[in-house]
Amino acid sequence: MRAGFAEIEITPPLGTQVAGWIKPILATEILDPLHVRAAVFESGGVRLGIVSMDTTRVTWQLVAELRAAVEARHGIPGDHLLVAATHNHAGPVLQQAFELTPDPAYLVEFRRKLGAVVGAAVADLAPCEWGFASRAEFRFARNRRVRMRDGTVKTHGRFSDPEALCYDGPIDPELAVLAFRAPGGALRGALVNYACHPTDHGHGGKFSSGWPGAMARELKPRGVPVALFLNGAAGNIATPDPERDSRCVPPGEIGRILADDVEDLLAKMAWRADAALAARTKTVELEFRRPSAAEISGSSRGTQRFIDPKLYDARIPAILEEMRRKGVQPAQIQAFDLDELTLAAIPAEYFVELGLHIKERAHPRRALVIGYANGMLGYVGHRDAYARGGYEVTFPGSRLAPGSGERLAEAALELIAAAQHAPVG
């Protein structure tokens, strides 16, 4: 086994737009730096690469461009490169959406740095041992969908509301760490997987990497030079606490909690000198919703839109035309194997119930779900969520037909079942 790691700062200049909200907000302050990080590992003639960036999303076009460039320059096949966003809500705008407009000059530099960080990770390749461990972490993630007494759901509902009934679903408490070290020596880098929205500072004019960035900074003096955060099925999971009127754990404290967890797991980790690596992809075509007049106007049961309804009304005609023109939405699911472990990448804000379903059905293989990866479908809920409403399944933030989440899970499980190294139940 050989592995290499690298990171490059991607903090935008002040005066450019922050991508944490659906209305334009210009950055007036930089709280902490943003980064793009890369890991490359190879064994048995197979080379895999992972890129994690402190952005809300990664676009289809950006993934295609980066894969083509990396394949041409470094010999990593396009489907052997996984490109994911941390889903940071205080980062740069990468594509036109609602009233958000990217800075063209920044995008040019951003693309250059994406290619450079993968090249730097390839140049860093060196013999390594690897290890995997996980634990449950309950201290800050909450299911943000609160079921009301009338059967609807309010996203970011509060239990101080007498109409609030219960949480609408679970969280996924698994914190998983995949680490690499020099044989018997110092750590080279780590991948950290957990499912939760990093919405810190998204409403204000501040650039910040949120708690994923705080975790990476906390881990540096603890011996982890580069830590890639890979978000999970976090579409309905966030840090505001419905039991305490939406108070949430500060991002710096979350960073310390996660760093403590990672440090504890590293101390207990068993190390291996080699791994059987593999990569597979599957593309499915998903149907769009057929929104009713009430859904289009925002008046259907359970509809929940934040900020100004006029922002939605202005964009919906173009969204409907795009859906009509495309007919279906292609989506690529990707799986990376390291022995009995599979990383399953989903291009969506995927509901936690679906991520847990993949993990459970993958047994006895160990599956980790990575959301916000290789493109973006928007919110994708489980089938039962659509009848209850809530922000995540309200049109146009949710554009795919009910059942799309289950189809993505089926495709991921097919890829996991195709693994050579262990059976799938």
Residue 265: predicted pLDDT: 98
Query: Does residue 16 surpass a pLDDT of 60?
Result: yes
Query: Does residue 127 surpass a pLDDT of 50?
Result: yes
| 164, 146 contact by CB (below 8 A) | yes
pLDDT band at 98 (very low <50, low <70, confident <90, very high): low
pLDDT band at 403 (very low <50, low <70, confident <90, very high): very high
Give, in order, the Cα–Cα distances in Å from 240 to each of 141, 158, 229, 298: 8, 10, 20, 25
Backbone phi, then psi, for 266, in 5-degree steps? Answer: -60, -35
Query: Tens digits of per-residue pLDDT, 277-286?
Result: 999 999 999 9
Helix intervals (H) in 201-308: 210-219, 251-268, 293-297
N-to-C CA span, the chain: 28
Which of the residue ranges 13-17, 381-385, 403-407 would you say has the lowest mean pLDDT? 13-17
Mean pLDDT of 17-38: 90
Number of H helices, E strands in the chain: 9, 22
pLDDT band at 150 (very low <50, low <70, confident <90, very high): very high
Query: Tens digits of per-residue pLDDT, 157-200?
Result: 999 999 999 999 999 999 999 999 999 999 999 999 999 999 88
Residue 63: predicted pLDDT: 97
Residue 6, SS3?
Answer: strand
The amino acid present at 330, given as its one-letter code, is P
Residue 416 and residue 410: Cα distance in Å, rounded? 10
Angle formed at CA 331 by CA 213 and CA 348, multiple of 5 degrees: 35
Residue 351: predicted pLDDT: 98
Query: Tens digits of per-residue pLDDT, 195-227?
Result: 999 988 767 899 999 999 999 999 999 999 999
Residue 53: predicted pLDDT: 98
- Maximum Cα interatomic distance, the chain, rounded to a whole number of Å: 63
Residue 248: predicted pLDDT: 87
Mean pLDDT of 287-298: 96
Query: Does residue 422 surpass a pLDDT of 60?
Result: no
Mean pLDDT of 241-261: 94
Contacts of 221 (CB under 8 A, 6+ apart): none
pLDDT band at 425 (very low <50, low <70, confident <90, very high): very low
Query: Tens digits of per-residue pLDDT, 373-396?
Result: 999 999 999 999 999 999 999 999
Query: Does residue 296 surpass a pLDDT of 80?
Result: yes
Query: Does residue 424 surpass a pLDDT of 50?
Result: no
Average pLDDT, the chain: 95
Instruction: Between 322 and 425, name the one with better pLDDT.
Output: 322
| 94, 58 contact by CB (below 8 A) | yes
Q: What percent of the chain has pLDDT over 70?
A: 98
Residue 420: predicted pLDDT: 60
Backbone phi, then psi, for 73, in 5-degree steps? Answer: -90, -30
